Amino acid sequence: MGHMPNWLLFIIGFVTACLVFADVTREIGFINKHYPLKTVIADLHYPVFKIPFPEIIICNKNRLNWQRYNEAKQKFLQQRHWTPKHEQLFIDTLNAYDTLSFGKFDNFGNISNLYPPILLNELNYLNFSVVVKFMAWQCQEIFSECFWLNRPYDCCDIFSLRKSSKGFCLAFNSMETEEGKRRGKNDPYYPWRSWGRGSRHGLKLRIFPRIHQHSPGSVETKGIMMMLVEPYVWSYIGNEIGVNTRAMDELESMFYKSLINHRYMFENCQAECQQEYLLKFCNCTVDIFFPPDKYRACRLSDLPCLYKHNDFLQVFEQLGEHEYVTQHVKGMACPCFYNCKSLSYFTDIRQENLGNKAELEANETEIRLEVYFLWETIKLYETTAVYTLIDLMASLGGLASLCIGCSLVGVMELLYFLFLNVPKRIVLCSIAARRVKSIPKKMVKTKKVLFHKITPAMPLNKRRSA
């Protein structure tokens, strides 16, 4: 059996190398397109003092102090409208705002169904956002005995009133209020941080919901709502805590639009998206849920519109969910992307009843709240691209060198040969051909080469011997 020719071995090896190079390159391209990111644990013991303590937003579940109702009526409702039907509309609207949060616009059902539009237009001069702020709870009314890092503070020095997705609430360690912004400029350590775990390294306070000062028409369960958000985040989902309890909140931290004058954050993008849907459906915004902006605030005549679209406004539609969920619910589609650096505070709420009733104020329900970190360290996750531009060049370059012996120098030599050397040779050959054609045939001489057979001479010593 004969040996395989060298040229055939070369062709088989070259074709095999090219197939391997093409297949692996296809896999790299697929990963780069469909799985562009990877998440790894960057640090298992990242200290909590390197991250800010969360902003703590506390809302009474009944957001209005009804003892200020008569004062609010005299201050905001024109005297010519001190009639039974106008006053009842004023009361029903405040009752709706008393437990209002974004996505609960069904609170305006009575206003939409019981009152004619002409009556709503008569009170359209009222800005209920201003009325609600006037009747909102103040820190001295529901807070007492505030401790931060086991040091006593005046509650009104560390809590301030702010807007949120639940309306007007009281916030600690906030950068959203004027007081927080001033403190951030003057205090280099603000927003504050905690350097340890346990209640001695967190926030403690007593909260009194003041049930006897709630609206007579309120049927909601009593208690507070608490939100924990990263500083510079506008709002987030709240946790509810019942009355006469002691709560310990143990934390484990781990389309580009944003609210006006706010840095881009995923939650801020969602809040701006919510506001845009309000403008789309009702051409106004419920400004108790958002920071000050140029948009028109909803008035009394706009509330039926909010009630009409409540089913749509209370749901975030996740992009692509209709491909997997049979009962697709239409909702707000907000194509927001997670920001590059963010904190997630995972809460573990533990509640226990207060045993010693003698400690409670007379005829008052009480909540004792403690918020602190559960651990002194956290896990730090880092998400990066699987293939950056440099990684992609290194992978493809190494693969090309391994499979087909190609390098950047070789590519440059090939390009030089194809685009400089070859054209130059073609031009020179064409010039030489034209010169040959221009010479007359009679001047062209052929050279004859003569071959002579030379017989070598016999050496002299051999001649003599012969």
The string of pLDDT tens digits covering residues 336-351 is 887 778 788 888 887 7
Question: What's the confidence (pLDDT) of residue 131?
Answer: 95
**Is 214 part of any domain?**
yes
**Is 459 part of any domain?**
no
The verdict on 15 and 57 lying in the same domain is: no
Q: What is the pLDDT of residues 185-204, one digit of tens each?
A: 999 999 999 988 988 999 99
Q: CB-hemisphere CA count at 13 Å for 448?
A: 3
Question: Rounded to whole angstroms, how far apart are CA atoms 57 and 164?
Answer: 8
The verdict on 68 and 212 lying in the same domain is: yes
Domain of 156 in residue numbering reads as 45-77+126-231+343-350+362-377
**Is 147 part of any domain?**
yes
The verdict on 185 and 58 lying in the same domain is: yes
Question: What's the confidence (pLDDT) of residue 96?
Answer: 94
The verdict on 190 and 154 lying in the same domain is: yes
Question: Rounded to whole angstroms, how far apart are CA atoms 349 and 248?
Answer: 6
Question: What's the confidence (pLDDT) of residue 459?
Answer: 55
The verdict on 18 and 66 lying in the same domain is: no
Number of domains in the chain: 2
**Is 84 part of any domain?**
no
The verdict on 27 and 50 lying in the same domain is: no
pTM of the model: 0.74
The verdict on 65 and 196 lying in the same domain is: yes
**DSSP code for 79:** G
C-alpha separations of 386 from 21, 40, 85 in Å: 20, 11, 66
Pairing of β 223-229 and β 55-60: antiparallel
Domain CATH code at residue 57: 2.60.470
The verdict on 195 and 224 lying in the same domain is: yes
**Is 332 part of any domain?**
no
The verdict on 168 and 186 lying in the same domain is: yes
Question: Rounded to whole angstroms, how far apart are CA atoms 464 and 452?
Answer: 28
Encoding tokens for residue 13?
Answer: 């090896």
Residue 371, phi then psi, degrees to nearest 5: -125, 125
Q: Are 390 and 211 in contact (CB under 8 A)?
A: no
- Positions of the chain with pLDDT under 50: 1, 238-254, 358, 449-450, 466
Domain CATH code at residue 395: 1.10.287
The verdict on 215 and 72 lying in the same domain is: yes
**DSSP for 131-148, written as a single string:** HHHHHBPPHHHHEEEEEE
Encoding tokens for residue 303?
Answer: 């509330």
Closest CA to 268 of 279, 257, 277, 276: 257
**Is 52 part of any domain?**
yes
The verdict on 372 and 397 lying in the same domain is: no
Encoding tokens for residue 210?
Answer: 């003041």
**Is 141 part of any domain?**
yes
The verdict on 26 and 141 lying in the same domain is: no
**Is 195 part of any domain?**
yes
Question: Which residue reads 């506390």 in tokens?
Answer: 58
Question: What's the confidence (pLDDT) of residue 325?
Answer: 75
C-alpha separations of 295 from 61, 122, 275, 280, 346 in Å: 27, 22, 9, 12, 34
